[in-house]
A and B are shown apart, each in its own frame.
Chain A
Amino acid sequence: MELNPASAFRVYMEVKDVQLSFSYRGPFHDGLTERIVDISENTIADHLGQKKMNRKVSFLLVECFQNIIKHGEQIKRDPNETILDDGMFTFRSEGDSYFINSINVVRKDQIEGLSQTVALINSKTREELKEMYRAQLVNNELSDKGGAGLGLIEIARKSGNRLEVEFEPLDGDYALFHQQVFFSSIDGKTGANQIERTKSLYKQLEESDLMMTYKGDFSQKSILPLLNIVESNIGQSKHEAYLAKKVGHVLIEMLQNIAKHAKGTNGAKDGIFTIGRYKDRFFVQTGNRVEETESKELSTRIKELQEMKYEELAILHKEKIKESIYLEDKTRTGLGLIQIAKASTEVPRYSLTPYDGDMFYTLSVVV
């Protein structure tokens, strides 16, 4: 796979009108649930506003995510691949609307049962769903993995909307289960089916071996949950867990650079961040808007760093940190960028693309 420094721009263009878009492509486990809720709560509090709505969305996120953990299967999509594929979890916040789309692997022999459960749930009124939930609890009809549609009934009740699902058969005994849950703070509003859009996103993520993408606000409160996810969740092997820590160091500098220097849209420091696998390492890419004058300065600085060997970067960093004690404007020490270049095992790459009167700047590093 070739690293394309402008790929973050492509992903950004697809989600540019969305306030928040987060996609995660495995590994799925319980420790992530809370982090995902953190990401969502930090951003949507400002959009959907009311606490009650926020709680509903968090509930839906938890239920949908845990459904994958409980019921999802893991497979190797490619026999040569060592990494297990679990599917993808994604959510988007667009004004008063909220979409949770997930893709997970199921056995083909589960399709019929699942389809019937969903059809039954979708045919019920709110009152009937309540009754159905009660009956399920009393009858204790639990599947071997626990749940028996209870989660789905709860999702349908809390979202107030029908569940959109689709099965996509894979070779052999497995199929992909696509699910969309829609929620709006406006009662009665329905959301367009975005399963096709999610499929194409999944394909794009798979092709570029991206594990996670985030488009949204880059203020400090949004950065921390992202760091926590990367630090403790992306590594599947010991080697990867070790690298994940290193990625965390780089990530914090890259994300805080966006927070400090990005040109905001309507007051928000908005940008994109992606992380993926690259050979036996990880790559991190960020993208954000900058003013044209700033882009020239950035370009010159990065070109200088690209020319430097690791030892030269280490010396430069030492000099800069010494100087920084005496600097008046301590927010512009340039230390962050040097640290990023130092930690990257390949020459850091950047791109600048004209965008809406400004420039869209991306930076990619391999750790």
Chain B
Amino acid sequence: MQSLEIKASAETPEVMFDKSSGVLRINGRSLPEDAFSFYQPIIDWTEAYLRANPIQKVELNFQLDYFNSSSGRYLLELLSKLEIYGKASLIKINWFAEEDDELMIEKGHELKSLIKLPFEVITTVQ
């Protein structure tokens, strides 16, 4: 299994999943029309990784400027894979949002409320 790296495009975020450190990162904007095609490989990779490394520490860092509603449902699916296949005590999710970006902060809190994993919404200064 290789680390997962996807470069950012005008409508999709940069994805860096480092298999040795267990640090996963999703950065940028996520506005694809076809969110399924973009997110399914990421979700599959994550599931396979967690199955192969059940006691690995995993840190998932989100730093998104925008995401559309269809991306939102896949982000939740990605998180639910962590819930199913990971060990809660070894998982850490960080949701970074700029301090004046009310909606991204709110979206972070919403995702946090939907899963039972350590999840922190961290506001950053631009």
Contacts and interface: CB of A to CB of B under 8 A. Distances in A.
A7 to B, nearest CB: 26
B114 interface: yes
A330 B69 contact: no
B110 A322 contact: no
A318 B110 contact: yes
Interface of chain A, main secondary structure: helix
Nearest to B98: A245
Nearest to B75: A321
B100 A321 contact: no
Contact of B70 (A246, A248, A331): A331
A224 B11 CA distance: 8
A105 B102 CA distance: 37
Interface string A305-340: 000000000100110011011000011010110010
B120 interface: no
A353 interface: no
B18 interface: no
B114 A242 contact: no
Contacts, number: 64
A336 B77 contact: no
Contact of A336 (B32, B36, B69, B80): B69
A89 B68 CA distance: 30
Interface residues of A, number: 28
A358 B96 CA distance: 44
Nearest to B33: A220
B74 to A, nearest CB: 9
A325 B73 contact: yes
B66 interface: yes
A83 B92 CA distance: 46
A343 interface: yes
Interface of B: 10-11, 31-33, 35-36, 66, 68-70, 72-73, 76-77, 80, 100-103, 110, 113-114
Interface of A: 220, 223-224, 227, 242, 245-246, 248-249, 252-253, 256, 259-260, 314, 317-318, 321-322, 324-325, 330-331, 333, 335-336, 339, 343
